[in-house]
Amino acid sequence: MNQDRLTHEIENEEMTIDLAELFSVLWSRIHLIILAGLLVALAAFAGTKLLITPKYTSSTSMYMLTRSDSGAGVTSSDLQTGTQLTQDYMELVQSRSVLEQVISVLNLDMSVEELSESITTENKTNTRILTIYVENEDPEQAQEIADAVRESVSIKIQEIMEIDAVNTIEEANLPTAPSSPNVIKNTAIGGILGILLAIAIIVLIYIFDDTIKTPDDVEYHLGLNVLTSIPIQEGEKRTKSRKTKRRGSRRAEKRGKR
């Protein structure tokens, strides 16, 4: 009866964690934590280099301005109108008619959806500058697509908005270095994840380890007072066992001689 009550109390008692002891356990296994971080970082580096195809990004930009009166200079109303219409121009870049024309001109082996996913646009706040970014595995093709998109959307804007011209600020550049993937970033993330994973595993092992190791554990888990404890050192134990073996072998030799 007392044993059942003791078991019930042990199951219902709240689990407490000694943070100082937990930190000590983590510090004693710091070499494993660092090793796990290095291994996962190395795996992330190798995976990024070998499994992910690098992509290049080319950009081109144009200036949008609609004049209300062709004979007059640029007014504040023209600037405000141009800023508002730039958002419409960004939508035209992703329009089906523009993308289909680009595919037709360059004879691209891709669908409209695939081409649309490789194109992004940017309009900085309070400006009439529209920047088009094109990402592709081939840097030369990225440049060609960016220029073709700019020219196609310029024609579409002139047709719809009935303006004279769209001014080109920068033609598409030929990228010399890949824009993605970011090897350093992926390697750093892999290292951090490896460290966190190792720490999580060590903490879980510490939390669910219910073996009794110290007199305090006996008092805490079993509710019994420890009267005394006998320290045993592994070195002394091994020495005694070796001496016992030697004595036994000597006795056997003496018996053999007799």
| Same structural domain, 153 and 80 | yes
* Boundary residue ending a domain (136, 170, 204): 170
pLDDT digits (tens, 9 = 90+) for 98-107: 999 999 999 9
Secondary-structure percent of the chain, ordered helix, strand, coil, rounded to 5: 60, 10, 30
In a domain, 72, yes or no: yes
By C-alpha distance, which of 189, 187, 179, 185 is closest to 47?
187
Report how far residue 89's alpha carbon sits from residue 92's, in angstroms, rounded to the nearest whole number: 5
**Rounded average pLDDT over 170-185:** 92
Six-digit token pair at 8? 């019930």
Examine the fold and report which residue of 138, 170, 202 is the final residue of a domain before the chain moves on: 170
- Judge if 215 and 193 occupy the same domain: yes
Q: What is the pLDDT of residues 145-157, one digit of tens each?
A: 999 999 999 888 8
Q: What is the pTM of this model?
A: 0.63
Q: How far is CA 148 from CA 81, 103, 151, 218, in A?
A: 26, 9, 5, 78
Domain identity same for 195 and 228:
yes
Say if 230 falls within a structural domain: yes
In a domain, 7, yes or no: no
> Based on the domain organization, do 70 and 134 belong to the same domain?
yes
User: Which domain CATH number covers 128?
Assistant: 3.30.70.1130
Cβ 182 vs Cβ 44: under 8 Å: no
Question: In terms of domains, do 160 and 66 share one?
Answer: yes
In sequence order, what are the residues at sequence separation of 6 or more whose Cβ sits closer than 8 angstroms to the Cβ of residue 7? none
> Confidence band (pLDDT; 50, 70, 90) for 123?
confident
Confirm whether 94 is domain-assigned: yes
pLDDT in tens, 47-66: 999 999 999 999 999 887 65
Q: Evaluate whether residue 179 is within a structural domain.
A: no
77 shares a domain with 158: yes
Residue 139: domain span: 56-170
Strands (E), the chain: 56-63, 119-123, 129-136, 167-170
Is 5 inside a domain boundary?
A: no
**Confidence band (pLDDT; 50, 70, 90) for 89?**
confident
User: Buried (b) or exposed (e) across 223-233, using 16+ Cβ within 10 A?
Assistant: eeeeeeeeeee
Are 158 and 203 contained in the same domain? Answer: no
Give me the number of domains the chain comprises: 2
Q: Is 121 among the domain residues? A: yes
Same domain, 85 and 163: yes
